[in-house]
Structure 1
Amino acid sequence: MSDSEKKKVLFLICSVLLFSVMNGTMFMIAVPDIALSFSLTPSQVSWVVTGYIVIYAIGALMYGKLADIYPLKTLLTIGLSFFASGSILGFFAPNFEIVVLARIIQAAGASSIVALVFIVPTRYFQEERGRVLGIVSSTMAFASGVGPVIGGFVAGVLNWQFLFLISALVIFAIPFFWLWMPKEEKKEGKVDVFGAALIALAVAALMLFITMFNWWFFVSSIGFFGLFAGRTLSSDNPFIRPDLFKNVPFRTTIIAGFLAIMTMFGMMLMLPLMLSEVNDLNTLFIGLTIFPAAMAAAFIGKVAGRLTEQRGAKQVVYIAFALMMIGFMLLSTFIGSPAWVIGLVVIICYIAFPFLQTGTATLISTSLPRNEIGIGMGIYNLFNFMSGAIGGAIIGKALDYDSGVLLNPFSFAQGHAMMYSNVFIGLAVLTVLNALYFNRAFRKSG
């Protein structure tokens, strides 16, 4: 590929990734409006988010596996078609059941984007892999920040159904994928469909347990995971090869990334709640407080990419850990301060995100043989989504309680804000332990 062709492909994958990530964050803002439109309880309307997350996580794994066999532009065409179809269906949805169905179809397509976009740099940008992954991570950070702002504006000025219409625009990207992406042939191999179905059911049950805390889902998940393990050991061509997790750099990065993303998503979940309860901000001002941090993360992605190429992926991950620890400690300390102070501190936390994603994605892609990068990145994305759901569930439960003890002696927190301060201290401690594990595991493996 020439430099001109690479720039076109990079622009294209970042454009569709922007819509994919925005689609998730926009609808979180619109959930109260959807509940009002159909007279729903919180548990009912939560399926707009829950159903999307479950299918999104499973799809990321499935598309990753398929990418080891089928051409990327073929898979992206299928995914974007699902994404656009679900968006159009949602725009015209006459009832809530069709809205949930539309979100599920959207997720079945949008998951192809986040799964395959991380494979593109490893396949087409070998010499600039770190830089390109930095740009991709910046795009995700930007979309996460701008999504709530756009979602709140569109839902407020027009109607929440127009959020579906925004996502439908991805359909126009399909012809450009066929024009600009390199031609690839189908590779040898086949997918263990039965094994794929078992792991999909296991993950779906686990995600439903995390989001709904129904123990029957947990028992079902264990059962399906057991069946999947038996299928994996007995099949000549399993969906996921067991020896994949014997790869120490791969296993270490998956575990460390899981814990790090869990703390990051926990922080992102707490911020709107904290700004609403402690600082008495409405939705618009919450979005405006967080927006500068998202913009800073978007601009810092290129720096993370360059450092990955110059210093190595592990050093970039260490930088992410350091930024996370500093940011969490400062948030714990300055809770109760004016919103502009919180907005400045949040920048430190948010700019850790592109460093973390660029470093871990590069480590995954360099630790696996070329024919296993797809499934490796699929597992990486699956664990990321699961960690976000787990982090949100744990922190949500923690914030239900009040604390009379303030763990941070320098904190300004009072009343219920003390619990927010303590949770941020907990995130900082978990980050320290995670960094120590990451360092020890890589040093031990040489």
Structure 2
Amino acid sequence: MAIRALVPLLVTFILGTLCLQGFNLVFTQVGEAVRAPGQASLITALPSIVLGIVCFIYGSLGDFVSLKKLVAFGLVTLLIGSLFGFISNYYFSANLWTVIIARVLQTAGEQVAGSVYLVVATKYLKNSLKVIFFGLFTAGYQLSAAIGVFAAGMLSSISWQFLFLIPAVTIVFLPLLLKNLPDGNHSGQRVDGFGFAIFGVATAFLTLFFSYLSWWMLLIAAVLFLGFAYYIRTADHPFITSAFFRNTRWLCAISLILVFYFVNYCISPVFNAIAHNLYGMQTSTVSNYLVWAFVVAAVVGTSSGAIVGRIGRQAAIIVAGCLMLAGFVGVAVCIESGFLVLAIMAAVFYAGAGLMYSPVVSSVLDTLPKDESGRGVGMNDLVMNVAGSIGIAIIGSLIGSPALGGASLFGVSGNASSYANLLLICGAVVLLGLVVFLVFRRHIYAANR
């Protein structure tokens, strides 16, 4: 029953993510169409903030509420957002805020599928199946990113409003999901609405900080997180206890996600800068090269369950980290060897990223008892989003920085030297992740032995 539920959940997640990737590509064109080009970034920024919040909340709610009710809410919300976005912007005058409201509803709805997928896989599958379905999950994400680029390009030449309708078809899965998903509140505890509210608002301000780099937002987030820490120590039934954060095995394991996913969003913008400034290429041409790297990630992600079954999770994490490191260093070494060579090195990186998800996520979730697995899924999603946001904010600010110019280990100069050194910094972060894993892996897997 769990497997019969996981397949439609994965399809729903893929179509929702495909829509997200499509709008990320054409948001400037949409901004011009709704006569608000200066505010076009809000079309992606506000749904991204919502995504950062609901990733944690939905995963955590999986420990407290009926998964059937959660999925029904998500699919209905996704359908409402899809129909509202298409009808209001296609049959009536297109407006910035109708686009944003529709995208927020779609994002809030489709993420239910992703979070419930991970909760079901964690709670109800044996370990050998977990790594397979975690691999399919990351493969689905990478595949949707690749298809989203093509779908957005195609539909933007017809009418961008049709992008809204892509995930609407997932409502047909609702009867199947209601039949196969477990019902009832597994923990028997009430939902801690106040705790979720504090943590959700704190997460919103933290995400806003990395979008706009306004320090007052970071200050508010810090105050709210401190208030949350006090609340969970004194409340009678908080949704997450302070003991959760004193689990040293979990802390060591989650640090791997923090380090490895710090550079997860960096290679695409760095590639864009290299292509534009060193090779005189347009972004549309760059995407034609990079899309194959996403395809490689999808293929490796699909195979990651079999790979982990063959070599084990620890070896898989080491191999994945080495591939990511080789990708960054390879681009730095070959930066003037032609863009095709760089695209091959990008594929090496994405192969590592595709392989990494399944073993590292299953390792983190295995440090928690089953009744906390939903909160573990939520924390994983939150740390991935925050780590990637921090990484892109820092690395993005260094792209083209004269501070990294001058000498390079590989004999290049000027912009090439700056980009090569930046890529070596990214590689050093991945190397740090490998060192952290080798130092803590005995402790992380201690209970398994």
TM-score between both structures, scaled by the size of structure 2 = 0.92
Letter in 1 for 2:14: L
Q: Is the 8 A contact 1:266 1:391 kept in 2?
A: yes
Matches of 1:133 and 1:365, distance apart in 2: 11
Q: What are the within-5 Å matches in structure 2 for residues 57-72 of structure 1?
A: 57-72=52-67
Q: Does 1:13 align with 2:9?
A: yes
Matches of 1:284 and 1:89, distance apart in 2: 30
Letter in 2 for 1:51: L
Q: Secondary structure at the match of 1:119?
A: helix
Letter in 2 for 1:135: L
Q: Is the 8 A contact 1:333 1:408 kept in 2?
A: no
Show the counterpart of 1:228. Answer: 228
Show the counterpart of 2:260. Answer: 260
Q: Is the 8 A contact 1:407 1:425 kept in 2?
A: no
Q: What are the within-5 Å matches in structure 2 for residues 382-401 of structure 1?
A: 382-401=382-401
Q: What are the within-5 Å matches in structure 2 for residues 344-363 of structure 1?
A: 344-363=344-363
> Which is worse superposed, 229-238 or 9-18?
9-18
Q: What are the within-5 Å matches in structure 2 for residues 398-413 of structure 1?
A: 398-403=398-403, 405=405, 408-410=408-410
Matches of 1:273 and 1:167, distance apart in 2: 32
**Quick one: structure 1 residues 427 and 52, their matched pair in 2 at CA, closer, same or farther if it must change by over 3 Å?**
same
Percent identity over paired residues = 23
**Quick one: structure 1 residues 230 and 306, their matched pair in 2 at CA, closer, same or farther if it must change by over 3 Å?**
same
Q: Is the 8 A contact 1:28 1:49 kept in 2?
A: yes
Matches of 1:406 and 1:320, distance apart in 2: 32
Show the counterpart of 2:151. Answer: 150
**Quick one: structure 1 residues 177 and 147, their matched pair in 2 at CA, closer, same or farther if it must change by over 3 Å?**
same
Q: Is the 8 A contact 2:19 2:167 kept in 1?
A: yes
Structure 2 stretches of 5 or more lacking a match? none
**Quick one: structure 1 residues 237 and 274, their matched pair in 2 at CA, closer, same or farther if it must change by over 3 Å?**
farther
Matches of 1:164 and 1:110, distance apart in 2: 12
Matches of 1:319 and 1:385, distance apart in 2: 23
Letter in 1 for 2:54: G
Show the counterpart of 2:214. Answer: 214
Show the counterpart of 1:438. Answer: 437
Q: Does 1:130 align with 2:131?
A: yes
Q: Is the 8 A contact 2:400 2:419 kept in 1?
A: no
| Offset of residue 356 of structure 1 | 1.3
Matches of 1:107 and 1:87, distance apart in 2: 10
| Offset of residue 242 of structure 1 | 1.4
Show the counterpart of 2:417. Answer: 418
Letter in 2 for 1:13: L
Matches of 2:129 and 2:117, distance apart in 1: 15
| Offset of residue 307 of structure 1 | 2.7
Q: 2:69 aligns with which of 56, 69, 74?
A: 74
Matches of 1:138 and 1:428, distance apart in 2: 23
**Quick one: structure 1 residues 405 and 117, their matched pair in 2 at CA, closer, same or farther if it must change by over 3 Å?**
same
What is the number of equivalent residue pairs in this alignment? 438
Matches of 2:336 and 2:164, distance apart in 1: 37
Matches of 2:338 and 2:6, distance apart in 1: 39
Matches of 2:425 and 2:323, distance apart in 1: 15
Matches of 2:175 and 2:135, distance apart in 1: 26
Matches of 2:235 and 2:167, distance apart in 1: 40
| Offset of residue 408 of structure 1 | 4.2
Matches of 2:373 and 2:63, distance apart in 1: 7
Show the counterpart of 1:339. Answer: 339
Encode CA deviations 1:364-412: one digit per residue, 9 max, x unaligned: 2221111100001101001111112111111221115224645642265
> Which is worse superposed, 332-341 or 220-229?
332-341
> Which is worse superposed, 221-230 or 243-252?
243-252
Matches of 2:264 and 2:398, distance apart in 1: 16
Q: Is the 8 A contact 1:85 1:105 kept in 2?
A: yes
Matches of 2:244 and 2:44, distance apart in 1: 32
Encode CA deviations 1:211-255: one digit per residue, 9 max, x unaligned: 001122111111211221111111121122211122233212212
Letter in 1 for 2:10: C
Q: Secondary structure at the match of 2:83?
A: helix
Matches of 1:190 and 1:62, distance apart in 2: 15
Show the counterpart of 1:51. Answer: 46
Show the counterpart of 1:308. Answer: 308
| Offset of residue 160 of structure 1 | 2.0
Q: Is the 8 A contact 1:249 1:442 kept in 2?
A: no
**Quick one: structure 1 residues 101 and 347, their matched pair in 2 at CA, closer, same or farther if it must change by over 3 Å?**
same
Matches of 1:312 and 1:109, distance apart in 2: 35
Matches of 1:224 and 1:77, distance apart in 2: 31
- Provide the alpha-carbon RMSD of the alignment: 2.0
Q: 2:83 aligns with which of 68, 88, 93?
A: 88
Q: Secondary structure at the match of 2:402?
A: coil
Letter in 1 for 2:132: R
Matches of 2:53 and 2:146, distance apart in 1: 24
Q: Is the 8 A contact 1:335 1:411 kept in 2?
A: no
Q: Does 1:40 align with 2:19?
A: no
| Offset of residue 23 of structure 1 | 2.2
**Quick one: structure 1 residues 272 and 147, their matched pair in 2 at CA, closer, same or farther if it must change by over 3 Å?**
farther
Q: Secondary structure at the match of 2:208?
A: helix
Show the counterpart of 1:279. Answer: 279
Q: Is the 8 A contact 2:334 2:342 kept in 1?
A: yes
| Offset of residue 77 of structure 1 | 1.8
Q: Is the 8 A contact 1:118 1:361 kept in 2?
A: no
**Quick one: structure 1 residues 344 and 242, their matched pair in 2 at CA, closer, same or farther if it must change by over 3 Å?**
same
**Quick one: structure 1 residues 329 and 400, their matched pair in 2 at CA, closer, same or farther if it must change by over 3 Å?**
closer
Matches of 2:166 and 2:52, distance apart in 1: 22
